[in-house]
Structure formats: C-alpha cells, structure tokens
Amino acid sequence: GGRTGGTSWSDPSGNLWLFGGIGNGSGSASGYLNDLWKFSTSSGMWTWVNGTNTFNQPGDYGTKGTAAASNVPNPRLGSNSWTDASGNFWLFGGQGYSNGAAGSLNDLWRFSPDSEMWTWVSGSSTINQSGVYGSKGVAAASNVPGARRSGTSWTDPSGNLWLFGGQGFG
C-alpha cells in the first residue's frame, strides 16, 4: 500500500527491498507498517516476504542474537539502514509503534536475504529509551545509542556504521 518514511535497499542480485513506513496496509486506514517486500527487477513482480499486512501490529523480537522465522521488527518510519559486505540488511531505530503506543526506537536488526529471517541484535524492545554512552572512544557491550528517528548514517570502507543525530533521546 501507499506509504511514506519506509526504508529501502538493494541486494547483490539487483532486487529492491522495502520495509515499513507509515501508510496503508491491506485496508484503507493507515498507520505504522512492518511489512517487508521484495521487487524482482528481472521479473518485474513484488513479493510480500515478512511482517504483517495491517498497521500498528506489534513486532516479535524473539531472542536477542538468534534468527527466527517468527522474528519481525516493530512497525516504524524514519529508521537508519545499510547493507554489509555479505548482503545483509541492517535496520536501526526510527519512529515506531510498540506495546500500544508510538515513540522512538533504538533497536538494531539484521535481515538475511538468503534465509529471509530477522535477528534482533541490540537495543531495547520498548520505545523512548535513553542511550548508554559509556566512555567516549571506548567500545563496550553496554553502550547503545538513544532511541531516535531521522538520523544520518553511513558505513566506512571497513564496514563500520557511523550514526549521527536525529530526533529522539540522548
């Protein structure tokens, strides 16, 4: 359905992928979406791959670090995304819907086009979480950016993600 604020990427085979946003699911009413679609540039056809077909449906986080067919991120818009050297798609934060309320997210997800499964990697499963900054310049397992939407991100030649700004929580 029509939407704004979705996240998209292309895979090594040239297929186009689209996740979420705010707009129409299978009905005429609109809200936050968590549907994942693939558009085959060779066949010219869309495939609904994952997520729900209605708006404001909760995600399923499963177990952190474990891919599962039932895993799906909460619906959202304005998230950051990138692909890694293996062709996996990464999704961070955004303005989303969780436990019956809208707010900012700080969850990090990885989607494997090969297995067509999501893995919850980091962050919280609830909205409006503050960041854990630790010591500047020192990586730590407990560090996590605050919930946000509409930040800017990029990857460097080594595959590291860089995240800057956005609207949300410090």
> In the chain, what is the greatest distance between 2 CA atoms, to the nearest angstrom?
50
Give the confidence band of 17 by pLDDT, cuts at 50, 70, 90. very high
C-beta separation of 88 from 70 below 8 A:
no
* The pair of three-digit structure tokens given for residue 21, joined into one six-digit string: 């946003």
pLDDT tens for 105-126 read: 999 999 999 999 999 999 999 9
